[in-house]
Chain A
């Protein structure tokens, strides 16, 4: 039986593992954290229709019966032996893999790097992940009852050369609009402001979500990036931006500011990729695929494959499609089908 190592137990890793297992391979899934699911396990509901993340994750996990997976496991070393890769994990397991799939996903941009927004300094500044956690658990002292005004900042650590990430993280606009509507469901009287530069509502149902945010929830969209956040004597946030549509500076006092942290390549995954010499190919930090259009699942090395957000920001359905595509590509590779 052929061995396939899948690195990363998020949605792409789970889906690819399930598919490869069905195709008859011995799959070894390596996950660094104590649970499967990656960021999805921390999310509450999913855009555009608000499906609970939990339901999707449960479905995925139910499909991996028979896949060997290791939690709290890291790839300690990986190198080529003849035609297969010798993968040594930190738990002492060694696998001789016929192919390796990177589904290492993304890290959220560390929002404290945008110092002017005061994440970690001003109490009422939180991130998209913090808010998802609040939706899930309703536990976060920073989200208080009866807020008057709440703001969302799009593109935090995205489209920002000084933050080191020039690219668009793709999913934050839709996440912001989803969260803005959800916060209005929680607090119907709150005034919600979304500070955006361009609204990138590219996917099916996204534009409807935007329209609904305006029409049904009265969310105010302000075209301008927040430039500075401060705290007043009542511990409320004072936010400065420009309303670029009227060309005037704007000031607003908020009870909560949510930063839409973007995606960057997973640092743990990058470390493993370094050992194979495939880490630094893309100048945006993501892994470079063999070909930008036709061979998205192939790395520049034989037998090493990619799926999901390790090759650039992706939505969940994007990642799942790539996972299935990668399973087929790996199958073709192992069978010697060109």
Chain B
């Protein structure tokens, strides 16, 4: 192989054809509220862990919808389960339970 000194840049594009609908259905079964998020960001804004780690419930939900559940799991690692996000969510999503459900569904999938 010839060494060119550069290589194909990887694509950052999300392919929605490749999301795992079965796993997502399992998550919805465990915590149907995941469907209710309207991406307002209240959870992230008030997150105890979020200022010091990449924790964001809003982003984690989005990553899962985009088929990037590993990123979602990484994003929730810093969570303290303090419950502040549950308090501020305008759509009354049980975010604490959602975080646990995400871990349950997607951790076991490894």
Chain A residues within CB distance 8 Å of chain B: 149, 191, 193, 210-211, 214-215, 218, 220-221, 223, 243, 245-246, 248-253
Contact = CB atoms under 8 A, between A and B. Distances in A.
A252 B38 CA distance: 21
Main secondary structure of the interface of B (DSSP, over half): helix
Given A191-B21, A218-B28, A250 B35 contact: no
A252 B63 contact: no
Interface string B87-110: 000010000000000000000000
A193 B16 contact: yes
B16 A251 contact: yes
Interface stretch (B7-15, B47-55, B76-84): B7-15
Nearest to B91: A211
Contacts of B16: 149, 193, 250-252
A247 to B, nearest CB: 9
A215 B36 contact: yes
Interface string B56-67: 001100110110
Contacts of A252: 15-17
Given A191-B21, A220-B65, A246 B14 contact: yes
B76 to A, nearest CB: 16
Contact of A246 (B32, B35, B66): B66
11 contacts: A210-B38, A214-B35, A221-B38, A245-B58, A246-B62, A248-B12, A249-B12, A249-B13, A250-B14, A250-B15, A252-B15
Contacts of B45: none
A243 B35 contact: no
Interface of B: 12-17, 21, 28, 32, 35-39, 58-59, 62-63, 65-66, 91
Contacts of B91: 211
B59 A246 contact: yes
Nearest to B37: A214
A243 B12 CA distance: 12
Given A214-B35, A243-B66, A249 B17 contact: no
A246 B63 contact: yes
B32 A215 contact: yes
Contacts of A210: 38
Contacts of B12: 248-249
Given A215-B35, A221-B38, A250-B16, 11 more contacts: A211-B91, A214-B35, A214-B38, A215-B32, A245-B62, A246-B62, A248-B13, A249-B12, A249-B14, A250-B66, A253-B17
Contacts of A223: 39
B28 A248 contact: no
Nearest to A249: B13
Nearest to B12: A248
A215 B14 CA distance: 23
Nearest to B28: A218
A193 B14 CA distance: 14
B105 to A, nearest CB: 16
B24 to A, nearest CB: 9
A15 to B, nearest CB: 35
A250 B65 CA distance: 12
